[in-house]
Chains A and B, each alone.
Chain A
């Protein structure tokens, strides 16, 4: 007997009312290459997780599994109590999960405002007026209301990334995923994007952030996760993670980046 979606939701809600994301024994393969090995991770609602690790360790893959940009081969993933089940509820999950990419991925043929209005109108069926109000509110929140009528190419990298954040927020997601949001930015623009993310954290957003910004991790994260070769090697509050890493591989990694 397979439980219906409703049942799954009810039971898991009762079990852990405050869990935003739960991954249980997740394996992910790209053909013959295993990118994720037995990932177990529970993210509480409102929790801020920073994921770090060497290149190719599976950080992007992990967060991309949460909104089903990647399909997993084994294990289970729950978002807000709903189990991901392939095509069936893919749209439902993506409503709840916003994502910000390293390369911004704004739609170049639309203005900033249109970028922010598209999904609420097409996915949430909001009216044009509603969508515009929401879009302008979030552009205000990321401090670029005056850029609303420009095209992405007319903005700086930092501004573009803030638009990307606003665009995701317009869908009113419960969880936000960030994949190296500042890695493509010139150094002087990193701060404005991190500040926007800190604001978001202060408002209680559940966040999973892949980043090499260790100061951000120190000040914002509830937990820092270190990944290597597809595994979660260590997960600890930042204090403990940076001052007292348990694993040799974590120590080696921290030694390299500091």
Chain B
């Protein structure tokens, strides 16, 4: 039986896009917090902390997100938790995003001239004040473009969570295609919806960059 592609089908796509947004927000927030911790430990004085973060980054950058999702999903069962795709996706996306953002931000932190840290130390500022007021604001300026680039990519990658049972935008597109046989129309719409979600991110990035350039005046 072939179904017509109509308003109902369109609505299904839009509802599925909400999952994409939820997953993306989880990944952004989790990755943002995790990435900051990874970046700070990666640039810390402690050799142990640095080495641990290098290992973490290598592992999560060196394995596909798909495998990480699988492992988080089936790992939960093995460790005796009830299998919950949302939590599995949360874990895998957060770890994945933390590794990438951590590495991006490490580079930005290290790009801040060492003299800035020394001047802050000489003034008696302790580690957190130094980071919060001196190093991170300067690192943030250069971090915006690569960060947004990664977030856009991450938003699109949330489609991989369909493998553990999420009916997000891409998966819903496949389902609808299989009953309407209108792949070009359906996937065209899917692509357009992704674009509508990513475009604002790039706009925000441009706006932030401009604001920071004005504030610093360098």
Contact = CB atoms under 8 A, between A and B. Distances in A.
Nearest to B118: A69
Interface stretch (B133-141, B165-173, B179-187): B133-141
Contacts of A103: 115
Interface string A60-90: 0000000101000000000000000000000
A212 B193 CA distance: 66
B47 interface: no
B196 interface: no
Contact of B124 (A101, A119, A153, A164): A119
Contacts of A168: 122-123
A101 B118 contact: yes
Contact of B115 (A94, A98, A101): A101
Contacts of A227: none
Contacts of B216: 108-109, 151
A108 B124 contact: no
Contacts of A69: 118, 121-122
Interface in B82-127: 113, 115-116, 118-126
Interface in A120-160: 122-123, 151, 153-154
B129 interface: yes
A122 B125 CA distance: 7
Contacts of A123: 123-126, 129
B125 A118 contact: yes
B46 interface: no
A106 B119 CA distance: 8
A107 interface: yes
Given A107-B119, A153-B218, A119 B125 contact: yes
Contacts, number: 69
A8 interface: no
A170 to B, nearest CB: 9
Interface residues of A, number: 26
Contact of A91 (B126, B137, B141, B218): B126
Q: Which of A91, A107, A164 has the most CB of B within 10 A?
A: A107
Contacts of A107: 116, 119-120, 133-134, 138
B122 A99 contact: yes
A167 interface: yes
B215 interface: yes
A151 B212 CA distance: 13
A95 interface: yes
A131 to B, nearest CB: 12
A105 B125 contact: no
B137 A109 contact: yes
Contacts of A94: 121-124
B138 A109 contact: yes
B8 interface: no
B63 interface: no
A109 B126 CA distance: 19
5 contacts: A67-B122, A108-B216, A109-B216, A122-B133, A123-B129
Given A94-B122, A103-B115, A122-B129, 4 more contacts: A69-B122, A98-B123, A101-B122, A107-B120
